[in-house]
Structure 1
Amino acid sequence: MKLTRLLTNKLTSFWFLSLAAVASLFLLTAFISFMQLTSEFQQQKVTELETMLVHHFESGESSMPLDSWLPSVLSAYKVTSLVLKDRGKTLYEHHAKEDSSGFVYYESQLNHGSNLSLSMKLPQPFKMYSFSWLPLIVFLTGIGFIVLFVRSGYLWLSTQLQGIEDLAVRSKLILNNDYEQALAEKGHGKPRMINRALTHMLLELDDAQKQRARFDQFIRSNTFLDPETGIGNRLFLKNRLDALSNDRGMMAPGVLFLLEMEDLDLLLQEIGEELIDEILLQTISDINQILDSQANSIFSRRSYNQFAIVVPQISLKDVEKLAAKLLKVCLNHQLPDGISSDDFYHIGAAYFKVGEAKEQLIEEAERALRAAQFQGSSGWFMYDKGAVDEELAKGSVRWRSFLEYALVNRRLVVFSQPVVDSDMETHHLEISSRIRDNQENLIRATLYIPMAIKCGLTPQFERQVIETVLFDLLGDRNDTKTKYSVNLSLDTLMSRAFIRWLKTTLLEYRHLTPRLIFEINEDIVVHNREQLASRLDMIRKMGASLCVDRVGQEVVSTQYIKECHFDLIKLHRSIVRQIHLRQENQLFVRSLIGGLYRTEVQVFAEGVESFEEWQTLKILGVSAGQGSIFSDPVEEV
């Protein structure tokens, strides 16, 4: 763009200088011609005077004294000085009043039958003539018209070349893959046909990208969603359970519900597919409304008449309330005549805690479902195996007191985990946090963050994390390159006080801002895009990078990644887990990376735990990975 403007300026300047040079050459030629003409005119007068003197002496008119006629002639010719000699003897001498201007000297021999010599002094020929007002006005008017013409031509050429600069602006944006801005910059590019062609191609490209996003969503929908109900399928449930567990078992407490509709397949033959679909859709809609208040919940279909619900980070008391709500909304449904809801819905629940095996969890939920069916009427059942997490069972009042104490006394402990690229170089460090209690025990984030959300203290904790990163980690003078990523929750991003503080802080430490990466959950971005657009745009304009994590947790269009201008995305661990054995997960990654072709968005992976997973991810085009294969979270001192 700068080069194009520079060339435009050079072209207009060359044109202007060319016209100025022509005009100057014209004036110079006229001036030289004027001097030459006056000089020749003066030379003619000198020749005429010499002829007159020769004629005077040859015609025998020597008896007529020179004083009688020569002075008037010399005055007419403006001769300043004249000396006429014969063999060294002065015959006539004339001297007029001189001024301080320059003179021209003439000396010649009059050899026409005599030995006369003549010497004269005349003023400079071009000084003998002066312009009158009329020629001067004509001359100045001509100069004015020339200047006006040159100026008008310069402005016209600059206007014409501005269209080329507009085309250069759009071309630069296209080369930088900023297609949206290039489409918005329609301008007045010239030639107009090229400008319209660019607009047409950009519109076609935008539509093709949207079609690609819809096609990618279609692929993922057919891979992970149940085609009849639109919720997750059995494969989706397996991936999400894998993400909640590792080799040591489940990583957080929670509950697994299995909801089964009794003899739904036999009922299909009696009442038809249309009524069955209506029952399923109504049941799914009501359950989704209940699960909206449960963060990170999973709802999927295991078989034709059985559904699975997983809710992590929930206490045993809340499990009983949630089970009662689920059963209540199911019993409120109006079933076709002749079908009773008293023995139609059965729910089996299995509560799990940290470290329990995933396979054991599913087995216990199936046993609980069988027990609920043996009871003979619609209801729910859960084995009481004493799996209550004591910390999670604390009351809300105790949790609020403890969390406020941790904030005031800065009991937050920061951990970092490296994100490693394909060259095994650290791209950045992701920051996580824990709380140290009075017994010097560390309370994990999966335990205290849900309680902080309930108590409305999430913005304060995340602000303290950012302060620690800015003041302690980024303030290290020995390390001026390492980048750090910090997670932001929905409550934090929607807090006006936090956004004002963040804007002020980033302005104050703008030299450190390029080393900050803010991560936002994909679920938060997708469902709150309009409310978060201005806040995310502010963070990006301040110089920080934006990352969306847990990508693939839900089946959604990836168009939001381009619209919100994210720099990084992190695949959810449910996609990464055993990806070398799962063709459908590989298809998801290929589709995602293909949809981001020609963008600068980098794709990273979370939860990489084996060499085979990392090799497969690199082959698929993933830029960097994060997980236990590289390093576990390390406490930052």
Structure 2
Amino acid sequence: MKFTKILTKKITSFWLLSLSGVAFVFLLCAVMSFIQLAYQFQQNKISELESMVLKHYQHQGVRNLEAWLPSVLTAYHVDQYSLSVDNKILFSFQAPQPSESNLRHYQRVIEPQSGLTMTMDVQSFYLQHRLGWYELIILFIGLLAIGIFVRLSLSWLANELAGIEQLAERSQLILEGDLSSAKQAVGKGRPRMINRALSRLLDDLEDAKQERSRLDQFIRANTFLDPVTQIGNHLYFENRIDALTHDNKMIAYGVIFLLEFDNDALLYEPTDIEANKVYLTQIVEVITPLIAEINDVIFARRTPSQLVIVAPQLSLAEADILASRILKNCLVLEHRQIVNHDNYLHLGAAFYKAEDAQLQIIEEAEMALRAAQLQRFNTWFMYDKGAVDKEIAKGSVRWRSFLEYALVNKRFFVLTQPVFDSDNTQLHYEVFSRVRDNQDNEIRATLFIPMANKCGLMPQIERQVLERVLFELMPNNELTYSINLTLDSLTSRAFTRWIRTSLLEHRKLAERLVFEVSEEVFIKREHDEQVRKTLVMLSGMGAKLSVDHVGKQVVGTHYIQSFEFDYVKLDRSIVRQVHQRPENQLYIRSLIGGIFRTKAQVMAEGIELLEEWQTLKILGVSAGQGPFLGDTLIV
């Protein structure tokens, strides 16, 4: 931070101005005194001359004046002199080298009886004075002493105010919001009491922020997390499953698993409740690594005896493998309360496709669970749905070939959805991507994006989408567009080099871009530093930053302050039916309170009802998007 010296400059300027004023007054008084004394001295000399001339005239008349008067007049620096009676000149004098300016004219009657009048032009006495070397030395020494005094005074003043300067610097850092630097810049600020008070207040503020973050996370955890297993509870499950639906129908394919324990054997045994909790925790720890690589997976405790797993974008073959692994790994764990180890754990699974009703797939999963329980031994059962969507049935190799073909032939196109603020003023458009197959059918992003992630093609796809926005949409209007970036793109050197070069060439377009990053990127923290560099670069180019899908996971808000986002977008799982869910409203209030002192504005996606939009505005949400505010349009 640049050293400001605010207070020192003000005090020094005032001090120098005061010193200059005093010096000017003293100098003015000295000059006036010198002129006055010189004038008085000259008047005395002229009076003496009058006395000498009058005395001579009274005794000798005008005789012998030429003998001594010219010498006296020359000594008095008289240019012209005349002595007359009744306008008759008795004596006159003219200096050999008369002055042309700065002359004083005198005309006096020195003897009223005879009318003797003396007239003369004489130089001003103060102009006749010339400084000698002795006087110049004295003047130089005086000026040098003044300069040394001023320099020493400034050094002393700066040294005395150094502590106040450090306080001013810390205060400036606090006003700029750089509290960490202000906390470190303790120095030797004076008055020391104020410096210690600032340090203590900064410590208390940091503790308060951490406590607020802990409190917010505590509120969210107690609202959406199961206290025993620390995974989602039934509210969390309902929110997330609703987010995967549109009009209560699924928007993508996947599998739902229900894992249930035998009640009599485990959960309602009152003698060893703590052991049951430990066992459940071990079950969760076993299952978590198995589903860690599945995007947008839902893992929750639906009832005291039942765990639910919803795995979007999972094929039938992958679902069979996952079900077998879950059951096998869970059966390895032992619990001494279980009487019949051969029949206490069952798993039911149901495959769902897009457009399947939410209640229907849950009922199918429960039917599969009952079928597994009827087997009378530990097993799993998959509900048979019959035909599978041909797009789902594509293997990874076919998907990769198709996506590469679509990239080469530029078959990706974009859709836009408007984003409005709380006053229904349009802020910008969010860009969504789609792709057309060989039969010119539109393939949903929920289908091709998971496969593109598996194939590592998201940077190329997002580059093609961004090229369409930069070079086809933005030159034709003055609108702002929001574009999603995945972790693969943010950590891809080729993509970051390309986007840096493109934004440098089109700097004005960068100011009309908003880059959105999923909250999941910051939860994993595997590439935290690389992601930070890319986001700082984009922000430095003038683009705005947004984090979306906020609320999908139960995490703190510290990363929002760390990355300085401009927008925070609530996930549709929090927004859906928010007017009927006090828990979701509590979460939103907690989130807004946690980022109150940041520049981030809270937005919402997936708004489908007027009641949702009204409730969100009452809670303090700044902007929103969704079918209620405006549908997506093909560009």
Is 1:433 the equivalent of 2:430? Answer: no
Partner of 2:587: 588
Q: Deviations over 1:346-387 (max 9, x none)?
A: 211111111111111111111211222222332211122225
Cα distance in structure 1, aligned partners of 2:183 and 2:474: 38
Pairs within 5 Å for 1:403-442: 403-442=403-442
Structure 1 residues 404, 264: CA separation in 2 closer, same or farther (over 3 Å shift)? farther
Partner of 1:378: 378
Does the CA-based 8 Å contact 1:177-1:599 persist in structure 2? Answer: no
Deviates more, 1:398-407 or 1:531-540: 531-540
Structure 1 residues 467, 157: CA separation in 2 closer, same or farther (over 3 Å shift)? farther
- The runs of 5 or more residues in structure 2 that have no matched partner are none
Does the CA-based 8 Å contact 2:564-2:598 persist in structure 1? Answer: no
Does the CA-based 8 Å contact 1:163-1:190 persist in structure 2? Answer: yes
Cα distance in structure 1, aligned partners of 2:61 and 2:247: 141
Partner of 1:563: 562
Tell me the SS of whatever aligns to 1:566: coil
Pairs within 5 Å for 1:26-45: 26-45=26-45
Pairs within 5 Å for 1:413-492: 413-476=413-476, 479-480=477-478, 482-492=479-489
Does the CA-based 8 Å contact 1:19-1:150 persist in structure 2? Answer: no
Tell me the SS of whatever aligns to 2:392: coil
Partner of 1:495: 492
Tell me the SS of whatever aligns to 2:303: coil
TM-score by length of 2: 0.90
Q: Deviations over 1:221-271 (max 9, x none)?
A: 111111011011122111111111122511110001111233465477497
Tell me the SS of whatever aligns to 1:219: helix
Structure 1 residues 341, 495: CA separation in 2 closer, same or farther (over 3 Å shift)? farther
Structure 1 residues 599, 265: CA separation in 2 closer, same or farther (over 3 Å shift)? farther
Cα distance in structure 1, aligned partners of 2:555 and 2:225: 11
Post-superposition offset of 1:443: 0.5
Cα distance in structure 1, aligned partners of 2:330 and 2:245: 30
Does the CA-based 8 Å contact 2:265-2:337 persist in structure 1? Answer: no
Cα distance in structure 2, aligned partners of 1:266 and 1:379: 17
Post-superposition offset of 1:163: 7.3
Please provide the CA RMSD for this pair. Answer: 3.2
Cα distance in structure 2, aligned partners of 1:538 and 1:164: 36
Post-superposition offset of 1:57: 3.4
Could you tell me the percent identity over the aligned residues? 51
Cα distance in structure 2, aligned partners of 1:111 and 1:390: 139
Tell me the SS of whatever aligns to 2:300: strand
Post-superposition offset of 1:28: 3.0
Structure 1 residues 539, 165: CA separation in 2 closer, same or farther (over 3 Å shift)? farther
Does the CA-based 8 Å contact 1:353-1:387 persist in structure 2? Answer: no
Post-superposition offset of 1:92: 3.9
Does the CA-based 8 Å contact 2:486-2:517 persist in structure 1? Answer: yes
Q: Deviations over 1:169-219 (max 9, x none)?
A: 766766676655665676887666545544433432332222112111111
Partner of 1:57: 57
Read off the aligned partner of 1:359 and give its amino acid letter.
Answer: L
Does the CA-based 8 Å contact 1:265-1:304 persist in structure 2? Answer: no
- The runs of 5 or more residues in structure 1 that have no matched partner are none
**Number of residues paired by the alignment?**
631
Q: Deviations over 1:79-103 (max 9, x none)?
A: 4444334455554444442254644
Pairs within 5 Å for 1:512-527: 512-527=509-524
Pairs within 5 Å for 1:262-301: 262-263=262-263, 265-266=265-266, 269=269, 272-301=272-301
Structure 1 residues 191, 475: CA separation in 2 closer, same or farther (over 3 Å shift)? farther
Partner of 2:361: 361
Read off the aligned partner of 1:116 and give its amino acid letter.
Answer: L
Post-superposition offset of 1:534: 2.6
Partner of 2:111: 111
Pairs within 5 Å for 1:199-218: 199-218=199-218
Structure 1 residues 89, 604: CA separation in 2 closer, same or farther (over 3 Å shift)? closer
Cα distance in structure 1, aligned partners of 2:403 and 2:74: 117
Structure 1 residues 594, 123: CA separation in 2 closer, same or farther (over 3 Å shift)? closer
Partner of 2:137: 137
Read off the aligned partner of 1:130 and give its amino acid letter.
Answer: R
Deviates more, 1:21-30 or 1:99-108: 99-108
Structure 1 residues 56, 543: CA separation in 2 closer, same or farther (over 3 Å shift)? same
Q: Deviations over 1:94-113 (max 9, x none)?
A: 44422546443433223165
Tell me the SS of whatever aligns to 1:475: helix
Post-superposition offset of 1:411: 0.4
Deviates more, 1:611-620 or 1:397-406: 611-620
Does the CA-based 8 Å contact 2:80-2:94 persist in structure 1? Answer: yes
Post-superposition offset of 1:119: 2.8
Partner of 1:540: 539
Q: Deviations over 1:283-335 (max 9, x none)?
A: 21121111111111111112222211110011111111111221221233344
Tell me the SS of whatever aligns to 1:134: helix
Read off the aligned partner of 2:605 and give its amino acid letter.
Answer: E
Read off the aligned partner of 1:627 and give its amino acid letter.
Answer: G
Cα distance in structure 1, aligned partners of 2:433 and 2:116: 120
Deviates more, 1:614-623 or 1:98-107: 98-107
Does the CA-based 8 Å contact 1:299-1:308 persist in structure 2? Answer: yes
Post-superposition offset of 1:460: 0.7
Partner of 1:390: 390
Is 1:626 the equivalent of 2:619? Answer: no
Post-superposition offset of 1:134: 1.3
Structure 1 residues 499, 159: CA separation in 2 closer, same or farther (over 3 Å shift)? farther
Partner of 1:321: 321
Tell me the SS of whatever aligns to 2:309: strand
Does the CA-based 8 Å contact 1:351-1:387 persist in structure 2? Answer: no
Cα distance in structure 1, aligned partners of 2:611 and 2:73: 116
Cα distance in structure 1, aligned partners of 2:104 and 2:46: 11
Deviates more, 1:314-323 or 1:369-378: 369-378
TM-score by length of 1: 0.90
Does the CA-based 8 Å contact 1:499-1:535 persist in structure 2? Answer: yes
